[in-house]
Amino acid sequence: MNAPHSAPPGTATLRARCTELVEYGGVLREASVQRRATWIEGALQRLGALDPAQHGDLAVRSGLSVAMVRWCLEQTLAPLCADTLAAFVHELPAPAPGTVRAAPGRLAVIWLSANVFTAPLRAMIVPLMLGWPVLAKGSSRDDLLAQLFVDALKASDAELGHCCDTVRFQGGDEERETVVLEQAEMLGAYGSDRTLQDLRARISSTTSFVGHGHGLGANSWLWWLAGGRLVAHT
């Protein structure tokens, strides 16, 4: 991941990081649902135990008060235990009669914005629980929570921790954006209508896309990812 205020990775480094995620995707796909859930629960517990200095850094980067940062984390993390995460996967209904969920793809790229403080967590968790390795492209204004989550995932399970990463660079950096977009088999993006239109126009016709504008919850497109993209006819 990027250290705060560090220079963005070069295109060769960025491409290598995408390749590593794809290679470790097999480990994630082979992991049981319970192992994935336990891994993510462990990471979330670490986020729940951040120290005051980290809460302060999140407040500065997000523009929220320290009290609001703590409250947002508590409200977001409370329902996300291993049992709930595993049940989410096990209880997904078939999208339609005669269909089943297909195997996860090579790489899910999540294009984050900074307008909703805790949005990165659910946006990254659901693809991971469904067996997709994830690269989160953080907002150039604030990607600290996504970075902390990636660190927590690595600490929770070192092997599965290789299946998620985050990167930050300025919007409009077409060279780096192209490297990321060409690796994606699924692109989930937050942003303005114009941002979503621009991103959709730049991806391959074989890349699944789901976008949602500012202020919309993650559940709309995440349930689409679970119940629509991952479908195979029987």
Distance of CA 48 to the CA centre of its chain: 18
pLDDT greater than 90 at residue 12: yes
pLDDT greater than 70 at residue 2: no
With contact defined as beta carbons under 8 Å apart, do 202 and 109 qualify? no
One-letter amino acid of 37: A
What's 159's DSSP letter? T
What tens digit of pLDDT does each residue of 126-146 get? 899 999 999 999 887 778 999
What average pLDDT score do residues 59-70 get? 93
What is the predicted pLDDT for the residue at 5? Answer: 52
What's 101's DSSP letter? P
Range from 37-41, 114-118, 133-137, 195-199 carrying the lowest mean pLDDT: 114-118
Break the chain into its structural domains and give their ranges. Answer: 11-41+80-233
Cα–Cα distance list, 118 to 162, 183, 215 (Å): 22, 25, 12
What is the predicted pLDDT for the residue at 27? Answer: 95
Q: E strand or H helix at 135, and its extent? A: strand 134-138
CATH superfamily of 11-41+80-233: Aldehyde Dehydrogenase; Chain A, domain 1 (3.40.605.10)
What is the predicted pLDDT for the residue at 101? Answer: 67
pLDDT greater than 80 at residue 229: no
Ordered DSSP codes for 164-212? EEEEE--TT-HHHHHHHHHH-SEEEEES-HHHHHHHHHHS-TTSEEEEE
pTM value?
0.86
What tens digit of pLDDT does each residue of 193-220 get? 888 888 888 988 888 887 876 544 444 4
Pairing of strands 186-190, 164-168: unpaired
With contact defined as beta carbons under 8 Å apart, do 72 and 66 qualify? no
Ordered DSSP codes for 17-34? HHHHHHHHHHHHHHS-HH
pLDDT greater than 60 at residue 234: no
pLDDT greater than 60 at residue 46: yes
